[in-house]
Chain A
Amino acid sequence: MSDASKPMVPEKVVELAVDSIFKKNGIKPEELKKNLTDEQKKVLREMVEDLKKQVDQFNSRNNETSE
């Protein structure tokens, strides 16, 4: 069983893939930052943190049962 704490895809690969898809669709990251209000940022940040926690929980449960 692979170690769940390690990233499955190298970070640079993810960054590059996202970047190329943005470019292909004519989207500039600088413009994206302007579209967000502080309130929206806060809500999205909480959502991402929450999902991170859930993934950690899921992984630790998996590791427990695989031992």
Chain B
Amino acid sequence: MAVYRISRAPYGYSRKNKHFYLDSEGRHKCSCGNNCSGKCKHGLSSKPEFNYKLDNNNDETVSQEGSEYAFMDQESAELIWVKESCDIVINTTDTQAGVSLQAGLQLAIALVLRITIGDTDRSEAVSQELMQQFDMTQSNKQKIYIYNTKDANITTTDTDLAINIQVLLQLLVALTVIVDIL
């Protein structure tokens, strides 16, 4: 995933525009034209304190003064870091709603099996086997860093969760067709 941001000096007091982007390896590149290898002092910020190496470390969470972060951890983790920036619009998937919907579907499948099969042991064996085959739990980790940026829109989606929900619904519908409910 590449996150691409442009920061621009307001009111044209500076003609230097800086383009930041993080490529998939998390390297920091700068387009100020000087060979500054990521530690650019030719732009708006005199001393970038941002640790770009964070992008490679999945376990580490470092909190810095003056920064905001939101962290949601269910089956997906999302970290959006906004620092020294303004007018940033963020849209994220409602992970909480997705996770509870997924739990609701799993419960419904187990319920249909329990009512129709009757025998507790057998119904539990069946629902466990079905869940194993269809429940594709994957971890989804997204980290986005915005630094020294103005007027950016960020949109993130959790595709894994959406697919999982779709598959569970398919399974539920298939079951209900088999037992003649629908």
Contact = CB atoms under 8 A, between A and B. Distances in A.
Contacts of A25: 122, 125-126, 129
Interface size class of A (residues with CB under 8 A): 35 or more
Interface string A21-36: 1101111010011011
Nearest to A40: B115
Contacts of B178: 15, 18-19, 22, 29, 32
A48 B180 CA distance: 13
Given A35-B118, A65-B91, A9 B112 contact: no
B163 interface: yes
Interface residues of B, number: 45
Nearest to B157: A66
Contacts of A2: 159, 163
Interface in B168-182: 169-176, 178-182
Contacts of A51: 101, 104-105, 108, 169, 172
A17 B133 contact: yes
A6 to B, nearest CB: 9
A interface SS class: helix
B108 to A, nearest CB: 6
Interface in B29-56: none
A39 to B, nearest CB: 11
Interface stretch (B10-18, B20-28, B92-100, B142-150): B92-100
A44 B112 contact: yes
Contacts of B116: 32, 35-36
Contacts of A47: 108, 111
Nearest to B93: A62
B169 A52 contact: yes
Given A41-B181, A51-B104, A58-B162, A14 B97 contact: no
Contacts of B170: 7-9, 11, 14
Contacts of A61: 94, 97
